[in-house]
A and B are shown apart, each in its own frame.
Chain A
Amino acid sequence: MSFLLDGLLATTWKQLIMYGVGALLIYLAISKKLEPSLLLPMGFGAILVNLPYSGAITQMMTGIGEVEGILDWLFSVGIHAAEAMPLLLFIGIGAMIDFGPLLVNPKLILFGAAAQWGIFATISVATLLGFNLVDAASIGIIGAADGPTSILVAQVLGSQYMGPIAIAAYSYMALVPIIQPFAIKLVTTKKERMIRMTYNPRNVSKRAKILFPIIVTIVAGYVAPASVSLVGLLMFGNLIRECTVLDSLSETAQTAMVNLITLLLGITIASTMKAEGFVTVQTLMIMGLGLLAFVFDSIGGVLFAKLLNLFTKNKVNPMVGAAGISAFPMSARVIQRMGQEADPQNHLLMHAVGANVAGQIASVIAGGVILGLVPGLL
């Protein structure tokens, strides 16, 4: 009967910590509603994979040999083989996005680029802290504020820290309403936050909306070929949405497909959260660096808007620059709320939404740029 105690006796203190991490993620998902669709499966998965001799992950069994676990199999075919899960998720994300506010005000796309500064600043800091370039780049991409991009880049580059990187990316995305006001107030005055911007709504032609995803894919493909799987599938989803002859496919991509992949993605990522690799000082450092990336992103966007204001007649509210991160639509809502706190008559929402969707494009391009540059530097 001693086999009944085998599991109990094999439990390590690191596994106990992982149960705590799992419980914390489940608590944050349910009670605080922080990205519940990802953090809850990841929390449960963290417990599942850290049970001694867990059948959910691949084990060597006496007398049988290697027995493949479902989570390791899902990871192998869904993420490791061709990054299928995060990439397919982009079709759904593309189908959800209306690039209209960006097409009305093209200048906003520049904020998407500026707000990726956090990625590169964080890579520099991570390198200084002793991470090798592969891990530093994978950590920096948390600043893309885009969970699937973070997972994909970490996987392609072969980082050993995918679990903590995914947790940091999704947690901080959910914490944008707390992180961004803090970062923005560090670099703006109340007078700057009060700057009003006029919005001239005009219709964008259907042809422009259809051509946009096609041309962006071709441009990104030629200039940053490594980004083409990310950009291409994002834009494919958007083309399905905008062509108006595939409404049922667009609807499926936005709902059923996104839900199905999200359901499996979180628990699949949890297969990387095994105690031996997760309970380390590096995990804590990654959580800190991820936070830094989000702060740097916001500051980069704001400072770029201020720079632009030096040369333009129609001033931009610098906070709109901070909406150039990919966390959609939370970031745009934060900017609208902060604008109204400074001046109740200030309506920045449409400008912030434009910058926010620009952030979606820029973040996947940033992911592709990292994938293109880093291997050449190794």
Chain B
Amino acid sequence: MGQGMAAIFVVIIIIYFVILILGRKGNKKES
């Protein structure tokens, strides 16, 4: 159970940072 949840969280946290970076680049472009 722990291994499965850990794997999901790893992928999701990477995607979280991807979204943060995409959002920041989008903001920079707008300003």
Chain A positions near chain B (C-beta within 8 angstroms): 102-104, 106-107, 109-110, 112-113, 116-117, 119-121, 123-124, 203-205, 207-208, 211-212, 215-216, 219-220, 223-224, 227, 358, 361-362, 365-366, 369-370, 372-373
Closest to B26 in A: A205
The SS class assigned to the A binding surface is helix
**What residues of chain A lie closer than 8 Å to B19, measured between beta carbons?**
102-103, 106, 109, 212
**Contact, CB under 8 Å: A110 / B12:** yes
A121 and B11 in contact (CB under 8 A), knowing A103-B23, A204-B26? no
The SS class assigned to the B binding surface is helix
**Contact, CB under 8 Å: B20 / A106:** yes
**Contact, CB under 8 Å: B25 / A208:** yes
**What residues of chain A lie closer than 8 Å to B30, measured between beta carbons?**
203, 205
**Contact, CB under 8 Å: B4 / A373:** yes
**Contact, CB under 8 Å: A365 / B12:** yes
What are 22 A-B residue pairs whose CB atoms fall within 8 Å in the complex?
Answer: A103-B22, A106-B23, A110-B12, A110-B13, A112-B12, A113-B5, A113-B8, A120-B1, A121-B1, A124-B1, A203-B30, A205-B25, A205-B26, A208-B25, A211-B22, A212-B18, A212-B22, A220-B11, A223-B7, A361-B12, A369-B8, A372-B7
Number of interface residues of B (CB under 8 A): 23
**What residues of chain B lie closer than 8 Å to A219, measured between beta carbons?**
11, 14-15, 18
Closest to A113 in B: B12
The docked-state distance in angstroms from the alpha carbon of A223 to that of B12 is 10
**What residues of chain B lie closer than 8 Å to A203, measured between beta carbons?**
30
The docked-state distance in angstroms from the alpha carbon of A125 to that of B7 is 20
Beyond contacts A103-B22, A203-B30, A369-B7: 6 other A-B pairs, Cβ-Cβ < 8 A, are A106-B16, A120-B5, A208-B23, A212-B18, A365-B8, A370-B4
